[in-house]
Amino acid sequence: MTRFTGKTAIVTGSARGIGEGYARALAAEGANVVIADLNAELGEQVAKQIVADGGSAAFKSVDVSSEESAKELVEFTVEKFGKIDHLVNNAAIYGDMKLDLLLTVPWDYYKKFMSVNMDGALVVTRAVWPQMNRGGSIVNQSSTAAWLYSGFYGLAKVGVNGLTQQLAHELGGSKIRVNAIAPGPIDTEATRTVTPGNMVADMVKALPLKRMGTPEDLVGACLYLLSDDAKWVTGQILNVDGGQIFRS
């Protein structure tokens, strides 16, 4: 398929894991992809491999909590590819996340965490949307943690959901759609690092579909929401979670 031929997409946090899966899939469907991440070594590798596979990609270092860094990302993308059509706000502190309670987490760490995991999506969207030229689409990375007890990680995802819905209203007049994906438990290196094995086993037992998800399980939802197949879909949070969350 070539739904994204001639389009340019920025994917933050795409040097590995789920973000890398999104970036590779977009490139495979014809998009010019900017691999935006703090990890230059891995990010460069992903971009080079996409090009080697026949796609179009470039790496740009970005700190999504920084307005200046987000502005530089936009300038790089426009200079490199001429425009911006799609944005995936995937970057997050996760693989090395500290586990703590809202009542006891060190305040400086909490503020840094929220500046990336919640505010980062807004920072990058504010930088990108003027370049979308009255059209485009944005996908934010949420989580089913927004509907479960998950401490400050879940709180950040509640914020991402609210941000998605508010921006859908503010940007609708500019013909920009904003949606979010809420993954359930996904088998990534980061999840294996953060979540104890016994907790993972208990989560899988409770799922109607008795397995962990994979990054590949999320790709179809992301491409759908970004594409014209979803041209009348905005302000939605789509669970891709093996049936973990039931909402009426």
- With 0-12 / 13-18 / 19 or more C-beta atoms within 10 angstroms meaning exposed / middle / buried, residue 229 is exposed
Q: Domain containing 154: what range?
A: 8-240
The confidence score (pLDDT) of residue 202 equals: 82
185 by DSSP, 3-state: which?
A: coil
Domain membership of residue 174 (yes or no) is: yes
Mean pLDDT over residues 44-59, rounded? 98
Domain membership of residue 222 (yes or no) is: yes
Q: CA–CA distance from 163 to each of 63, 96, 114 (Å)?
A: 19, 24, 13
Mean pLDDT over residues 212-229, rounded? 96
Total structural domains in the chain? Answer: 1
Residue 180's CATH number: 3.40.50.720
- With 0-12 / 13-18 / 19 or more C-beta atoms within 10 angstroms meaning exposed / middle / buried, residue 195 is middle
Domain membership of residue 247 (yes or no) is: no
Domain membership of residue 79 (yes or no) is: yes
Predicted TM-score (pTM) of the model is 0.94
Query: Alpha-carbon distance 91 to 65, whole Å?
Result: 10
Of these residues, 22, 94, 110, 153, which one is catalytic?
153
The confidence score (pLDDT) of residue 7 equals: 97
Domain membership of residue 1 (yes or no) is: no
Backbone angles phi, psi at 136, to 5 degrees: 145, 180
Please report, as a single letter, which amino acid is at residue 12. T
Question: Does 153 qualify as catalytic in the annotation?
Answer: yes
β strands within the chain, DSSP E: 8-12, 32-37, 56-61, 86-89, 136-141, 176-183, 237-240
Domain membership of residue 2 (yes or no) is: no
Domain membership of residue 233 (yes or no) is: yes
